[in-house]
Amino acid sequence: MNLKQFTSLLLIFCCFSCGDDALPKPKAYLRLEYPEAKYVSINPDLPFSFEKNMLATDVTNKRLEDSRESYGLNIEYSNLKGTIYLTYKKIGNKEDLMRYLRDAQNFTQEHTRKADEITEQVFEDSSRKVYGMFYEVGGNAASQSQFYVTDSVNHFLIGSLYFYAKPNYDSILPAAQYLKTDIKRIMETVNWKK
C-alpha cells in the first residue's frame, strides 16, 4: 500500500467513523447514604434539654465567657465531618432578647456573599413556649443551616452547622440534608428547664 492509497483510506475512515463528538465526563460525587436517624434525649447540665441523633459521636458543653448563664454545646458527627454548634444565653431583659435576635439574623446574613439563597422557615410551638427561625443556606457558604429558638422571656438558643471541609455545596449536600433533619429535631424537642 503506497502513501496515496493509505491517505485515501484514512480519509474514507474518518468520514464514516462515529458521528458523535466526544464529550468530557462531568465531575462526579459520591452517593452517600446514611443510617436512619435514632434519637435519644440528652439532658446536659444546662437550662434546656433536647433530643440528638445517636450518630453524633461526641457532645461537649462549656460555660462561655466566665458566665453562669451562657453555654456552648458542640454536637460532633465525625463520620460526616461536621458539627452542630449551639450557644445558649439567658435573657435578662427585653433589650437582651432584641440584641440576641438581631445578632442571630445578622450572623445568617453574613453568608449572603457566598450563598446562592437563604430560605427562612418560622418555627412555633406555643405548648412548649418555643419560638424561632430555621435558615437553610444554599450554595458554597460556610454554614448550610442555622437556627434560633427562644421562649421570649428567659431562654435563647442559637445553632449552626459547619463542616470540616472547604465549602462545595454539591459534595456536602447529602450530609447537610441529613443534619438539617437533626437540627429540626433539636428545635422540635427542646424543653426549657425552670
Written as tens digits, the pLDDT of the chain (194 aa) is 677 776 666 666 666 655 566 666 666 655 567 889 999 998 778 899 999 999 998 888 887 766 668 889 999 999 888 999 999 999 999 999 999 999 998 887 765 666 677 788 999 999 999 999 999 887 777 788 899 999 999 999 999 998 887 767 677 788 888 999 999 999 999 999 87
Distances 39 to 36, 50, 61, 82, 140 between C-alpha atoms, Å: 10, 10, 19, 18, 29
Q: Is the full-model pTM beyond 0.85?
A: no
